[in-house]
Each structure stands twice: as C-alpha cells, then as structure tokens.
Homo-oligomer: A and B are copies of this chain.
C-alpha cells in the first residue's frame, strides 16, 4: 500500500483535488464544479464519490487530507464567510472527518500554495519566504522559520489589503488603495482603463469591448508590442515592487515567489517588479532577495499545495 494524502483546493467556481505522495507526485487528479449554492455536504458527497471511483484500481492508503479554501482558518478548521462561496461558516474538518477519520488540516489557498512551493517547488530548503498569488485578488502566504505565519487568529498574511495608495482605488473590503486593487488580474484591468484615459495614442485595447478587456488580453497585446498594454504591466510591476520592498522590511525573506495567473506573464511583469523593488528596498536588503515564479505545474500546484499542507502537518507537528 502506497501512503498518500488527499489535496483539495476549493475555489468559487471549481474544486481541484487529487492524490499526492510524499515526494510531491500528483498520482491522480480531478476537478468538479463547486456549486456552493447547494449545501456543503452535497459537495463533499460528490467529491469523495468521485475520489473513490478514481481510487478503486489502486492500492493507496490515505494518511491525511489537506484543504485549501477561501478564508480557510488553520486554527478553527473553518471557512469563515468567504465572499465567493455561499456556505457561510462551515467547519470543514468536522465535516470531512465523517468521510475519512484521518488528520485533516485547512488553510487558505495562498498559504497552501506557499507550503507547496516549500515542500515540492521553488522554495525547497527555504525557511523564510513570501508567496504572492496574483489571481482575481492578491493573496499571500508567509513562511517564517519553516512554518506558515498564521498570527494570533489565523488571518495573518493579508498583503492584498496593505494600503499602497492613500485614497486610491475602491476595494471589495470597503477601503481604498489596497494592493490587490492594483496588483491582480482585476487590478491590471483597472489600470488599463486609467492608461487609456491618461494617454491619447491608439492601442489595440481601444478596439475591443470592455468584456474582452481581461488580464489575458492585455498580456497578449503587450506581447505584440502595444505600448499602452506594456505600460499596464510596468505600472502593475511598479506598485507591486514598491509594496514588496516594504514586505521585505517586515520579514527579511530569502525569496519572494510569484504565483497564479498573472505570474505566467513572466518577465513582462517580473522585470518592472524587480526594478522597482530594488529601487525602493532598504540598503541592507539590496540584491539579497530573489524574486521568482512558482516552479509547480499550474494545473497541479493547488492540489500539491493542499497535499503539502497535510504532509507538513503530519511530519512536523507530532
């Protein structure tokens, strides 16, 4: 019997899950619709019956289950009113225990991604680093001394909600100027509108509908040399680089790892991030901190992260 864990990444639309061995090999993986308008236990019924189906021809022993979920709280095992899931407060650990009576750990998706990089990806052998996910919003997982930083109540690492511009863009949290209103897939889209207003020159961006104007389109136009699209990446990188200079003053990490959809833009984003990070960071940190992208396959990264979470728990917290 091969000892394995189950990694589950619950998203607002889809949920990815799979079987992960202790070397970070994703042996089986699948994806289902989350459908959070239905009760949470129905979701897990679907998930685990799909898992058992996948399982049946293999000799696996499930040692634990790791779950990455929006607003997942490591201390309580709950998800706490995530805006993109309709389940309210649910104790995932209690609920999943009814299916498999094994160790179960919950955290948010960015924290899970950080552990995935530490155990299987870009942060192997690192003990102090920051992971930034650039998706619809901006999430972060902070590792200090080889452990995730959860803080007093489990909500540490909200870098998306550091204020980078006083009286800046309105954020979903109700405040203004949060980092994620600039550095995220939705942030770069808002930047595009700003740049279209600021400059007068023609741009491929002027010839598409608002609905088509996505981070992906801006990326494609930038690759074609569109100056306003490139400027969108430069501005996003500037804001993110400046914010990371502050993050380093707090945490003195060995590296910062950029993860998620926007990270796939590569140097188009990373070059301005690095430039403005180095320009703004305190002297004692200059040329010390590596800024790099995730080293996990993007379709497995979230599953590996959730798997790493539970492997880490079982290995280090006995």
**Which residues of A148-188 have CB atoms within 8 Å of chain B's CB atoms?**
149-159, 161-163, 173-175
Q: Which of B128, B153, B161 contacts A151 (CB 8 A)?
A: B128
A159 and B252 contacting across the interface, CB-CB below 8 Å: no
Q: Which of B145, B154, B158 contacts A250 (CB 8 A)?
A: B158
Which chain B residues border A151 with CB–CB below 8 Å? 128, 144, 251-253
B175 and A280 contacting across the interface, CB-CB below 8 Å: yes
A288 and B153 contacting across the interface, CB-CB below 8 Å: yes
**Which residues of A245-301 have CB atoms within 8 Å of chain B's CB atoms?**
245-247, 249-254, 280, 282-285, 288-289
Q: What is the bound-complex CA distance between A147 and B251, given in angstroms?
A: 14
Q: What is the bound-complex CA distance between A285 and B162, given in angstroms?
A: 13
Tell me whether A22 is interfacial, beta carbon within 8 Å: no
**Which residues of A120-153 have CB atoms within 8 Å of chain B's CB atoms?**
127-129, 142, 144-145, 147, 149-153
B284 and A156 contacting across the interface, CB-CB below 8 Å: no
Interface class of chain A by DSSP: loop
B242 and A156 contacting across the interface, CB-CB below 8 Å: no
What copy number does this chain have within its complex? 2
Q: Tell me the smallest distance from the CB of A66 to a CB of chain B, in Å.
A: 20
A250 and B159 contacting across the interface, CB-CB below 8 Å: yes
Q: What is the bound-complex CA distance between A142 and B151, given in angstroms?
A: 11
Interface size class of A (residues with CB under 8 A): 35 or more
Contacts A144-B151, A149-B144, A242-B163 hold; do A250 and B283 have CB atoms under 8 A apart? no
Closest to A127 in B: B152
A250 and B152 contacting across the interface, CB-CB below 8 Å: no
Which chain B residues border A282 with CB–CB below 8 Å? 158, 161, 173, 175
Contacts A282-B158, A283-B174 hold; do A150 and B252 have CB atoms under 8 A apart? yes
Contacts A144-B144, A163-B242, A245-B163 hold; do A157 and B250 have CB atoms under 8 A apart? yes
Contacts A144-B149, A145-B147, A150-B252 hold; do A246 and B155 have CB atoms under 8 A apart? no
Given contact pairs A158-B249, A158-B252, a sample of 16 additional A-B residue pairs in the complex whose CB atoms are under 8 Å apart: A127-B152, A129-B152, A142-B250, A144-B149, A145-B149, A150-B252, A151-B252, A152-B289, A155-B284, A158-B250, A158-B284, A162-B250, A163-B246, A174-B283, A247-B250, A250-B251
Interface residues of chain A, those whose CB is within 8 Å of chain B, are 127-129, 142, 144-145, 147, 149-159, 161-163, 173-175, 242, 245-247, 249-254, 280, 282-285, 288-289
